[in-house]
Every structure is written in structure tokens, then in C-alpha cells.
Amino acid sequence: MLLGCIADDFTGAGDLANNLARGGMRTRLFNGIPADMEEGCDAGVIALKSRSTDASVAVSQSLAALDCLRAAGCRQYFFKYCSTFDSTARGNIGPVAEALASALGATGVVVCPSFPATGRTVYQGHLFVGDRLLSESGMERHPITPMTDSDIRRWLARQSTTAPGHVQLETVRGGADAITSALASERANGRTLVVVDATNEDDLRAIGRAEHAASLITGGSGMALGLPDNFRAAGLLRESSSGFAANSGDAALIAGSCSNATRRQIECHSLNHPTMAIAPDALLAGEPVAERARDFLAANRGRLPLIFSSADPEEVRGVKDRHGVVAAAALETLFGEIISQAVTDGFQRIVVAGGETSGAVVTALGLGTLEIGPEIDPGVPALSGEHASGRKLAVALKSGNFGGDDFFVKAVRALGEAE
């Protein structure tokens, strides 16, 4: 294996795997740390659920994933986090990045959450979403990781043991040699982590070229765009086809994200397809929500039924105030149960919106390894894997903020035949 990747949630892992596969790397996605890394792939992406755990737990899990990837003989390592830098003032991005850097003896490590295809760019050390600063993009109201500061250097300094460095866009535009020189200077100044500006894909490819010999790189999935070419130039990348297997079975759709994009997608889907809203209060009151969901899917088989718990930030805060973290955990468990039952009932195409929801669903289905298929929308690939029962499934897992308004229909089509 050439490239070993650690992602802090499942949809982010799929996003990264998508970019690597598009670059010509045979890529496999692993749900958690596998007992043995499978041979026959160029890049292995381990999906953890470490974005919003305690920082010490995130560090421990990430180092265990690194040990697994090192045992597989990887030449380079990549720590992937969200392109909106989702974290609290205590972590987990800084602590994990520093722990990985220490384990690999790396300094001057690139930090770059830029992903221009989805509107995320870094300029003067500040993260933008479209034409808005991150702190004005809606992420400042995120119920778990509110991003109230757009200055990645300042945010990272609050999480790290040393102040981060910075490579400006003007230097990046000077090309790979200029970037390499700037990183060496930051390294000489004792910087473990270095925020690097990037506003388009050419910038990311230049950073990738500069990092051809780096042991560790960190960033959003866009940062991986330039990495396959390094292995190709070294004669290490072989031509290979995807192991993705399309499926034309019935589709069940789930949405647990409360992002603006997902709520628009639900509204769009509801115009022509059946939808069912789940109220956390009803679930926590002991009402038979799972049974109702099973009946809903059965009654609407073949019509792309969507079950969702998405709501606006104020409503989400109200649920959190009433029930605390219990509500989120209960919803994740419920969605895993709903989809597990749906697969037992013969559904074979599964579409999920939301990182935490996706992780819960994949774990419930026992999908240990997933193959990468065609891109549905920027950052979202079609995936296929084997259910614990041996059933073959086609799956789409998207981050809450990704995808166009018609994502759900597009995803079902990408997983197999049109509905």
C-alpha cells in the first residue's frame, strides 16, 4: 500500500476516497480499524468516528489507525478532517495532528482544509465557505462544533501545544519549490503544524507536488488531489479498475444532518417522493418509531422513500436543551435499526445524509470494507460493500453540507439503474 489515510468521520473518509480514486489510485474504504489491511489497493482510508469524541480518545484511535497503516507498509500518511475544520476550541484536529506528527517524527506539517469544488478556500490563513468567512457561513451555529473564528491559525493555536506557522498564497503561486522552501523555513522555526493558503485546485496540486516526500500531510479531501500524481511520477501507481458493484434493488433514504444543504435537499425530494419526519421527543417518549418507519418504507417501496430527523438550528438546540446528548445517540441508534431492518426486508440501495448518521448506519450494517464507485456530486462517491449477511449493497454516504438540491435522486441513480 502506498498511501495510508485516517479520516475523522465516515462521510469525510468517502469524500477523500473519492478524490484518490478519481486520481487513479485503487482505493478501499475501511469502517474502523481492520484486523488486517487487505492487499490489492494503492490507498487505504480508515474511517474513524473521532471528530466529536473526547480529544484523548480521538488521539488514541488515530494512533491505533496509524499503527495499522504502518504495518501495511504505507509510504505516506494523510490525516483528513472536514473542509469546514469542524472542531471545538479543545480539539480534535490539533491534538490528533500533533500526535501523528510526533509518532512519525514529522515537523512543518501542512494544514489545509481547502476544497474549492465545494466552495471551501483558505486565504491569509482564514477559511471561507463560498464568499463568506467560515464564522458567517452558518457553521457558527453548528450544535456540536460551532465555528466562531475563521482564522485557522488562531483556532489551531487554541488546540495545539505550539503556535502554527503559515504559508501565504503568494508563495503557493510560486510553485512547488517555493512551497517546499517556505515549509523548510517554518520547520527551522520550530513549527510542527503550518497552515497553507489555497483558493483553487492548481494551488492544491502545487502543494501536493511540494509534499511528495513528506511523511505526513493533513487537510480536507481537496488536499489529496495532487497526491496520486506523485506516486504515478515515481512509477509506483499501476492501472487498475474500480471494484464498485452497482445495484438495481429498492432504495431507502435516511437524513440525519441539520445542515442548510440537507434541509434543502429534503424539501426538494418531498415535492415528488414520500417523506417521513422523526421527532426526537416522540422517540425518547418511547413511541414505536422504528415500527412506523418500517411500515412507511414497506408502503412506499419503489418510490424512493426518505426518513429524516433534520431541523433548523433553533429546533435542534431546543431538543438538546431538553434531552442533552441522549437525543443524538438515540437517533443514531434508531437510524441504524431502521436501515438494518430495511436490508433484511430486501432494500439494496441505501442513501444517507449526515456524517454521524452515516457512521451509525454503516456500523449497523456491518460494512467493514467498501469499494469506490462513480462520483455523485463533488465529494460524494457511490460505494458498494457486503452486508454482514452476505447481501451485496450499494451505498451513498454524504456529509450534511455536500450535494445539490436533487442529490437524493441523483444518488439512487448512481448506485444502479434509474428508479
Show Cβ contacts of residue 87 under 8 Å, excluding neighbours closer than 6 positions. 51, 81, 93, 94, 145, 155, 159
- pLDDT of residue 263 exceeding 70, the answer is yes
Interatomic CA distance for residues 382 and 14, integer angstroms: 9
Phi, psi torsion values for 309, nearest 5 degrees: -130, 15
Q: Alpha-carbon distance 193 to 34, whole Å?
A: 28
pLDDT of the residue at 109: 98
Q: Residue 323 has what pLDDT? A: 60
Q: Where is pLDDT greater, at 118 or 68?
A: 68
Same domain, 286 and 383: yes
Query: Whats the size of the chain, residue-wise?
Result: 419
Strands lying side by side in the sheet with 132-133: 120-123, 126-129, 132-133
Examine residue 269 and state whether it is found in any structural domain, yes or no. yes
Asked whether residue 207 falls in the same domain as residue 272, the answer is no
Average pLDDT over residues 261-266: 94
Mean pLDDT of 225-233: 94
Give the single-character DSSP code of 144. Answer: S
- Boundary-marking domain end, from 170, 204, 233: 233
Q: What is the pLDDT of residue 284?
A: 85
Residue 244 lies in a domain: no
Residue 275 and residue 169 share a domain: no
Mean pLDDT of 87-100: 94
Residue 300, all three cell numbers: 412506499
| Residue tagged 477523500 (cell numbers) | 16
245 within a domain of the structure (yes/no): no
CATH number of the domain at 199, please: 3.40.50.10840
pLDDT at 319 over 70: no
At 395, phi and psi to the nearest 5? Answer: -135, 140
Distance of CA 199 to the CA centre of its chain: 20
The answer to whether residue 202 scores a pLDDT higher than 90 is yes
Residue predicted with more confidence, 118 or 182: 182
Reported as a pLDDT band with limits 50, 70 and 90, residue 326 is: confident
| 240 dihedral zone (left: phi>0; alpha: psi -120 to 50; beta) | beta
Contact present, 419 and 251 (Cβ < 8 Å): yes
Give residue 60's pLDDT: 98
Tell whether the model's pLDDT for residue 412 goes beyond 90.
yes
CB 350 within 8 A of CB 393: yes
Task: Of 212, 218, 214, give the one whose Cα is nearest residue 233.
Answer: 212
Has residue 120 got a pLDDT over 60?
yes
Q: Residue 290: which CATH number?
A: 3.40.980.20
Q: Is 418 a residue whose pLDDT tops 60?
A: no
- Kindly state the average pLDDT of the residues 139-166: 91
Q: What pairs with residue 219 in β-bridges?
A: 80, 112
CA gap 240, 243 in Å, rounded: 9
Q: How far apart are CA 375 and CA 19, in angstroms?
A: 9
Residue 351 included in any domain: yes
To the nearest whole number, what is the mean pLDDT of the chain?
Answer: 92
> pLDDT value at position 140?
87
pTM for the structure as a whole? 0.86
CA dihedral for 335, 338, 344, 345, sign (positive or negative)? negative
Mean per-residue pLDDT for 163-181? Answer: 98
Is 316's pLDDT higher than 70?
no
240 within domain boundaries: no
Over pLDDT 90: what percentage of the chain?
A: 75
pLDDT over threshold 60, residue 419: no
Q: Specify whether the backbone of 190 is left (phi greater than 0), alpha (psi in -120 to 50) or beta.
A: left
> How much is the pLDDT for 145?
86
Of all residues in the chain, the percent with pLDDT exceeding 70 is 95
Is 393 domain-assigned? yes
* 196 and 56 belong to one structural domain: yes
Q: Could you give the C-alpha distances from 50 to 38, 58, 80, 356, in angstroms and in order?
A: 23, 5, 11, 10
In 9-45, which positions are buried (b, 16+ CB within 10 angstroms) versus exposed (e)?
A: bbbbbbbbbbbbbbbbbbbbbbbbbbeebeeebbbbb
Average pLDDT over residues 280-301: 93
pLDDT of residue 322: 72
pLDDT in tens, 268-278: 999 999 999 99
Kindly give the residue spans of alpha helices, DSSP state H, lying in 53-200.
55-71, 93-104, 152-159, 169-172, 176-188
pLDDT at residue number 10: 86
State how far the Cα of 323 lies from the Cα of 305, in Å rounded to an integer: 28
Rounded Cα distance between 6 and 33, Å, is 10
Verify that 129 and 266 share a domain, yes or no: no
- How, if at all, do strands 27-31 and 369-377 pair? antiparallel
The answer on 370 and 405 residing in a single domain is yes
Please check whether residues 279 and 375 belong to one and the same domain: yes
* Phi, psi angle pair for 272, to nearest 5°: -130, 0
Query: Could you tell me the residue range of the domain that residue 156 belongs to?
Result: 3-233
Cα(266)–Cα(256) distance, integer angstroms: 11
Q: Are residues 261 and 403 in the same domain?
A: yes
Q: Are residues 26 and 68 in the same domain?
A: yes
Helix (H, G, I), strand (E, B) or coil at 14: helix
Confidence of residue 117 (pLDDT cuts 50, 70, 90): confident
**C-alpha grid cell, residue 13:** 473518509
Number of domains in the chain: 2
In angstroms, the Cα distances linking 70 to 6, 66, 67, 76, 310 are: 12, 6, 5, 9, 39
Kindly compute the dihedral angle of the four CA atoms of residues 276, 280, 283, 287, in this order, to the nearest 10 degrees.
Answer: -70
